[in-house]
Structure 1
């Protein structure tokens, strides 16, 4: 089968042992779903020696939204015929002529092919240089032609497009993700999806327009879920606070509102996780970013947790989080105006758990 193909490379899936085939099959299924959804036709998807090959594809897809893909290359597929290879490199002559220099890089997946990789690079490089007049440059070339030699086919390509890597969504299990309309929690959810997690989103609603933001964020994250719907559970904030939220302001308990809120959220998230048969909770916490995220306050607010809490952004710079939010398309949704949380005037930043327990008893929130 000659024609257009895509070579898909995965990263950490290759480190798996006996269950590697399950991860490969999941990634193949996700790729097939994505291609069909985008309207791409193809003849076959197969896994061979650390690669996934999409053969007979009608045009070039953007596979960056398929989690588990480390990189991919649109390629020309040829029969394993060295003479045919020498002719087909002419496809790249226009690009090479417009480049100041080039190199040929060959990888033999099949070691029985002759000549060896260096021999292919030298001979094909000489042919191209003679035909185009473009000189070879081995270090930092302006254009690089890649040749991959498999057991049945040869592949020619000129670019490697980076994906997000990781594992296929759902291959690691399920977690409940605390999500707001802000920047951090959607990014934290995405990072755990990249590690194979299927999230169940849990939102404590404050206003209708903020809930609308969260629905849009769910839809954006779903674009990375390979056709799997992402469940969203919405609980009104007043229900979480048992109708007592506004009554805390103007009292001696007002400075503890942020820590109380986080405590109640983690307690409820643990209950939801058990009912959803999830294995833990995702939080968008970032150390020392706001008052509720000092080490002491994180410790105190998580004391109610009955499940493991995963915080992939805990050591991120805000600029790193914003950059990733822009990359995955959640940033513009997150910064849209909406009624948010009402913070206390002077929030406590160093609440120890014993003090929090006393406050919870006094406010009627203790277990």
Structure 2
């Protein structure tokens, strides 16, 4: 087993890339989708079942874990991997996005952010140094810089000020991270929808030097077309020989569009959150299992899917347990969605390796355009 962090590209097809990230806890096949385990759990899933879907890595959330149960407690209990029974790689975000979007009254200064917990109103300070300390206590394999992410739309002056603050915080994060063999630190590019600001941000990050680079500040209200416009150039501003991670994305067609444009890593709550609310992702688009058309349907969600949900349960059963608010509905639907996402990533890796990504992509969109199977 490798003892250091490294990235190897094995094939490219256009701008799409496939390869692997090596960590002391195992390899991550790219392009990779990371299920979100916000509070040390992927909701409605056992860790071994998440692994069974094909996931190589999970995401944990610094903001939530620092507030409850506390990173110091997790450290005393052996670190996040042991705490949540997931021995493979874990990436932790920096907490910046959640502070901006979830926390109560908050005060942003050059030093960091002072905020009130959304749980109990207690006051906390989060700085680049404190974020690095918390993530070290959690013991995550990939650590994210502390940054600020303004919601879009925002005027360019505000976006520029925010990006430059994030770049100063990136340097402080790098300094505070120090030398941690086997652990990686990723910088986060900001700059909204401005090519000039994105280029300035990428240049600053390359100057500091990181183990990988994230594209932040997208999927925050700008819409897919605007996001793809940024991704047409942003990944190319980052080093070719290191992983590129698009944060908080997304829907299946977002992932396909991101991979096509050179992105290696993704995370999103969508497959698990949608599963809990009755939305299933299939090759033929999204199925709302709560619709009455499914109540007498003995067929599976997706006949071409071999997840336990599709192998063993009918649409009629899934409709029933979802309407009855039974816990198994969240479990089965989440398992299916996470499985679907991992199959999607696997197919893209194979298509890139075979040099037929464009053909695969055309088939992906054509199948989705058919819509769900006809009702009985």
Do the two structures share a fold, i.e. TM-score over 0.5? no
Taking structure 2 as the reference length, what is the TM-score of the superposition?
0.25
Taking structure 1 as the reference length, what is the TM-score of the superposition?
0.25
Structure showing greater radius of gyration is 1
